[in-house]
Structures are given as structure tokens and as C-alpha cells.
Amino acid sequence: VHGLRRDLARLLGADALVPDEELAEYRHDGTIQRGLSGEPDAVVRPGSGEGVAAALRWCYERGVAIVPRAGGTGLAGGAVPAGGGVVVSVERLARVTALDPGLWRMSTGAGVRTADVARLARESGLLFPPDPGAAEQSRIGGNVATNAGGPHAFGRGRTGAFVTGLEAALAPGELARVGGEGRRDAAGYDLVGLMVGSEGTLGIVTAVDLRLVPAPSAAAALAAFLRDPAGGQRALLAILGSGVRPAVLDFLDARAFAAAAGAFPADPPAGFAGGMALLLEVEGSEQEVERQRGELQDALADADPILVQELPGPALWRWRDGLNGAVAAVRGGKVSEDICVPPERLADALDGIRALGAELELPACAWGHAGDGIVHASFMIDPADAGERQRGSAAGERSLALALRLGGSITGEHGVGLVKRALLGAQWDAATLSAHRRIKQALDPKGLLNPGKKEPPGRPQPAAASVVGSEEANGTHVAPA
């Protein structure tokens, strides 16, 4: 290990090698509560795209695993060096290289923090539309690699929708540039699209060209309370059928609501126990907002709501940000998954989650992005109770199977990483699996880029990277209060 570190320091410069006393933070990512960790052989943070490519080349020549990393907030264990290898962090690629407000575009290194991209856009009267939850810590390269979304992704789109080009270090160690500041590139295969959501398994994104949009001048937020999941489902379908496209179309069930009811920025209605709430926001010009609000209120009225309230957006979204922690606080911990179901099966998903909770004797609740069918299936546990931890894991795992039965996906938001790989084989047919493997083989013939992540178990692993069994990792997302 010391020889490896010395050689990398010589290759990339001493300042690119993360010293021993700082290694701890690179052992984990946002799955730290799940107990996932790894022991990197070395962590490097090159100061340029060429440096990233050089690190990749060095590893590739020697058969050493490479674990790309940006902000380390991922919730799938993608940046965890579970089988050792060299963590290549893009954190020092933190320069904004171009900002052209008049042309609605920005180019940045992959290590620029998400919140800084959003802030710079805002200060120019523009909007960088994605709003993932950990924006102060996550970095744009990580957002691209996970195609990060957020509450506003329903109406605005996820990160990939705003990437017009990128630079990436590809195996065996060279920089490639695809797309660019032009808005369209029909010349080749969609290599930008291939890198988006690839979770560090196909290359290392070193720079990104982003499309910004003019900031909306007005917005209005609504909370609608429905009597039961079936009513919530009716309201959701009425909204989708109305032709209005809200920026946010989120939901939460009554149990999730109850966990944070005290801080809700208005008086919640009586008679909501057992119900479902929808949280919406429309944005645009004053007239557009006025029209969309009216059409949404009409659509909601058809579903016979208990109450529809207009609320100040910032207060509502601040409250919504705290929901995850509030649910975890109810019993001290929780097991949560990010399943996705077709929107017309949302009520079935909620019934299934409640039934799982009842069967495994754990209080269950759910919330998420209703418009996209993303459901945070959550089971509240006492983390000190081994039996509850085990039952929570079982419930989480069975919620993934529920998503597949309903025609959905085991992950709608956070990706596969290490934690969901065991179930990929159940989601994909043989031809899909084979297509994924052939793409991986073409771009990473030695299987050294983030080995074991985003692929079902069974692929031969390189000797340098043995990967922790995902059975262990699955569904044990125990978040403390």
C-alpha cells in the first residue's frame, strides 16, 4: 500500500494524495447508517482532468480497482471502496470555467458543489432546475453520475436533462469530450446519456456543460388532504389528466404526516387519519401560475378532498425537507427504500407497504414524488432492537419485490450501487442484462471501474477488488433520529 501511495503521489503531485489522517471520510458515503464502509488502498484528488485520466491509466495498467467519488452523499454505497482500490475524488475540479447568463449556460469542473451551481445561476437571474436534497455537500459530477432528482424533478426534469456535454476520463486512461456548449449534438451515440446515471462504472466525469433556464417569476404551493389512499390516487390521476404540469407533485401518507404534523406551516385538517396528502407547486409567470392553480384546484375538487390549502412555498418545502428526520425520530430509526411504481399503482403500493408493516409488526409509512411514482417505503424501528432491525431489513427487501410486482423499479432515485444489486437480476430480463454487461465490457474491459456496483452479483471480479456481499447490505438503512 505504501508503495502504491508513493507512486501515485509521484505521478499526480504530493498535494493530490489524501493523507492518512483524512482517509476516514472516504470510507463511507450517505449509506453510513446502513453500516457500509470500505478501506481504500489510497485516495487521490487530482487537480485537473488530465490528472484524473493519469490516475485511471495508472490503475488500469496495474489491475487496481478505481472508485470515483464526488461529494460522498450517495445513498446506494456507490462511492464506498468496499473492496479496496484507489478512490479518485473529483473534489478539486471545483472551478466554474464559463458562465454565460445571456446564453443560459454554465460549464464547470465535476467537483463544483450543487448548491454553488444553483446559487450562481440564481444570481444571474437564471435557474439550475434540479434540487436534490443534499445540495450543500453533493457535487455536480456525482449528480450527473446518479442523475439526481429532487422534489421539483417532476416538472423540471432530473440532472441529465440539463447536461449538454461533458468531459470524462475513460479506460484505459484518456480524456474524452462529448457534446459541449451547443444545445444539440446528433453526431454520435448518446455518450452523455450513457454517463448520466452510470454511477462511476463506465468512466469518471471531470467536467460538465450545463443548460440553465430563465427563473420563473412566480410560484404557488398547495397542500391537498384526501380521505384515503384511493382518494389520493384519484386526485393524482385527475391532476395528471388535467394537462397541468406542476413543478412538484409529491405525496405523503397520514402516518408520515403525523411524524412532522407539529411543524406543519398551517393547521392540518381533522379527519385525516388514514388519508393521503398531495403537495404541489406550480411556477411560471403570474398569469401562468394563476391559470395552473385554478386548473389544479378544479382537478382536486373532483376527488372530494377534505381540504385544499395554499401555503407559502419556502415554508412548505422547508417542512418537507425535515420529513425524513421526523419519521426516523418516531422510534429512533427506520428502514427506507426508494422504490418506483407506475403512478396509477400508487394506492396499491401504499396498501402493500402497510400490509408489510402489519405482517412484520413495524409501523410503516410512505412519502415521495407521486408524479414520478417514487415511493420512500419506510418502516420505523428501534435501532437498539436486533429483532426489529432484522424485520426492518426484511420489510425493506420485500418492498422492492412489491415494486417489481406492480410493474415498477427497485430504485427510482438513488441508484443501485452496492445496496440493491442483488435484485437487479429480478428486474431485468436476460436480454437487458446482457446489453448492460456488453456496454460495461466495451467501456471497462478489465472491470476495474467501481467493481461490483450497479451490476447483479455473478460477474467475475478483478483480483484487486473483492466486494462485500450485498445480502448483508440490503435494506438495512437504519437512520438514527
Find the Cα–Cα–Cα–Cα dihedral 7, 10, 11, 14, rounded to 10°. 110
Which of 17, 34, 43, 73 is close enough to bind ligand FAD by CB under 6 A?
A: 73
CA angle 88, 90, 94 (to 5 degrees): 160
Considering only 18-26, 69-77, 235-243, 300-308, which stretch makes contact with ligand FAD by CB under 6 A? 69-77
The position carrying cell 412484520 is 360
DSSP state of 339: E
**Contact yes or no for 67/89 (Cβ under 8 A):** no
Which of 46, 49, 51, 72 is close enough to bind ligand FAD by CB under 6 A?
A: 72
Output the smallest distance, CB 89 to ligand FAD, in A: 8
Which of 38, 40, 109, 149 is close enough to bind ligand FAD by CB under 6 A?
A: 149
- Identify which of residues 34 and 139 has a Cβ nearer to ligand FAD in the complex: 139
Q: How many residues bind ligand FAD (CB under 6 A)?
A: 37
Output the smallest distance, CB 144 to ligand FAD, in A: 7
Burial call 92-117: b when 16+ CB within 10 Å, e when fewer: bbbeeeebeeeebbbbbbbbbbbbbb
Q: Does 320 bind ligand FAD (CB under 6 A)?
A: no
Q: Does 275 bind ligand FAD (CB under 6 A)?
A: no
Measured CA to CA in angstroms, residue 386 lies from 377, 383, 390 at distances of 20, 7, 6
Q: How far apart are CA 439 and CA 125, in angstroms?
A: 40
Q: Which three cell numbers stand for residue 290?
A: 394563476
Q: Does 90 bind ligand FAD (CB under 6 A)?
A: yes
Spell out where 216-316 has E strands. Answer: 218-226, 248-253, 276-284, 307-311
Q: Which three cell numbers stand for residue 153?
A: 424533478
**Contact yes or no for 476/34 (Cβ under 8 A):** yes
Considering only 66-74, 294-302, 425-433, 468-476, which stretch makes contact with ligand FAD by CB under 6 A? 66-74
Output the smallest distance, CB 245 to ligand FAD, in A: 19
- Identify which of residues 145 and 377 has a Cβ nearer to ligand FAD in the complex: 145
Site string for ligand FAD, 99-118 (x = CB under 6 A): -----------x--------
Contact residues for 187 (Cβ-Cβ < 8 A; gap 6+)? none
Which of 27, 152, 255, 414 is close enough to bind ligand FAD by CB under 6 A?
A: 414
Considering only 128-136, 250-258, 342-350, 385-393, which stretch makes contact with ligand FAD by CB under 6 A? 128-136
Q: Is the dihedral of CA 322, 323, 329, 334 positive or negative?
A: negative
Which of 18, 42, 59, 145 is close enough to bind ligand FAD by CB under 6 A?
A: 145
Which positions from 152 through 181 interact with ligand FAD, judged by CB under 6 A? none
Q: Does 84 bind ligand FAD (CB under 6 A)?
A: no
Q: Which three cell numbers stand for residue 203?
A: 468512466
Q: Does 411 bind ligand FAD (CB under 6 A)?
A: no
Considering only 5-13, 71-79, 213-221, 227-235, which stretch makes contact with ligand FAD by CB under 6 A? 71-79
Considering only 17-25, 132-140, 181-189, 256-264, which stretch makes contact with ligand FAD by CB under 6 A? 132-140
Q: Does 281 bind ligand FAD (CB under 6 A)?
A: no
Considering only 130-138, 173-181, 254-262, 311-319, which stretch makes contact with ligand FAD by CB under 6 A? 130-138
Considering only 200-208, 253-261, 267-275, 355-363, which stretch makes contact with ligand FAD by CB under 6 A? 200-208
Measured CA to CA in angstroms, residue 91 lies from 57, 192, 207 at distances of 19, 21, 11
Q: Is 425 exposed, middle or buried (0-12, 13-18, 19+ CB in 10 A)?
A: middle
Q: Does 70 bind ligand FAD (CB under 6 A)?
A: yes
In terms of phi and psi (left: phi > 0; alpha: psi -120 to 50; beta: otherwise), the region of 165 is: beta
Q: Which three cell numbers stand for residue 188?
A: 454520435
Considering only 119-127, 235-243, 272-280, 412-420, which stretch makes contact with ligand FAD by CB under 6 A? 412-420
**DSSP string for residues in 266-288:** SPPPTT-TT-EEEEEEEEESHHH
Q: Does 336 bind ligand FAD (CB under 6 A)?
A: no
Site string for ligand FAD, 18-57 (x = CB under 6 A): -----------xx---------------------------
Burial call 181-196: b when 16+ CB within 10 Å, e when fewer: eeeeeeeeeebbeebb
Give the interface with ligand FAD as residue ranges (CB under 6 A).
Answer: 29-30, 67-75, 78-79, 90, 110, 132-134, 138-139, 141-143, 145-146, 148-150, 199-200, 204-205, 413-414, 417, 450, 453
